[in-house]
Amino acid sequence: MRQKFRYAIILLMSQIALNCDSSGELASRAREKESQGNTAEALYYYDLALRENSENFTANKNLGILLAESGQAPGSAALYLEKALKKDPKNPEILLYLLEIYLKAGSKAETDSVLKGFSESWDKDRESLAQFLTSCILESKKNPSERKRFQENRIPASNPASSRLFKLCEEKVYEESHPK
């Protein structure tokens, strides 16, 4: 009887192991491929991870960032980043990438949603950066004191998306009055 019980437990444990979510392992493999510079393979493994578990935070976030960085699929990037944002609504990195996508698209409603996310987060420097970039890019408003503060503190350089947005702001609003 005791031996039958052991076999039943072993059988049950093997079923649990087979049914466990392997998306985390696939996302780890994708991160490894990404760190090696194999973007195509990383995209493949992130896709596999999301097929296993469409709610995998790491896969949604990293796939969204990879797509945003490529600049080729902003709609898909936003979709994945929005899914990741549901799991971590105050993540400044995700918010900055979404801000970039929505500002470049000129989408005021989505931009306002991202700004609301910043206002609820702990990172007040990035919140003020997001507000500055939004008013600069969408409304072509100048704010020399904020611009100088961000230039001196190098806050925009902390994230590729914010760096690109700051450059876009510079080109759109400030270079017109101060050509090189």
- What pLDDT, on a 0 to 100 scale, did the predictor assign at position 4? 55
- What pLDDT, on a 0 to 100 scale, did the predictor assign at position 154? 85
- What pLDDT, on a 0 to 100 scale, did the predictor assign at position 17? 40
CB 85 within 8 A of CB 117: yes
CB 173 within 8 A of CB 140: yes
CB 69 within 8 A of CB 39: no
Report the alpha-carbon distance of residue 65 to residue 44 in Å, rounded.
14
pLDDT in tens, the chain (180 residues): 555 555 555 554 444 443 445 888 988 888 898 889 888 899 899 999 999 999 999 999 999 999 999 988 999 999 999 999 999 999 999 999 999 999 999 999 999 999 999 998 878 888 999 999 999 999 999 999 999 999 898 888 989 999 999 999 999 988 765 544
Question: By C-alpha distance, which of 69, 71, 70, 97 is closest to 83?
Answer: 97
- What pLDDT, on a 0 to 100 scale, did the predictor assign at position 20? 46
- What pLDDT, on a 0 to 100 scale, did the predictor assign at position 176? 60
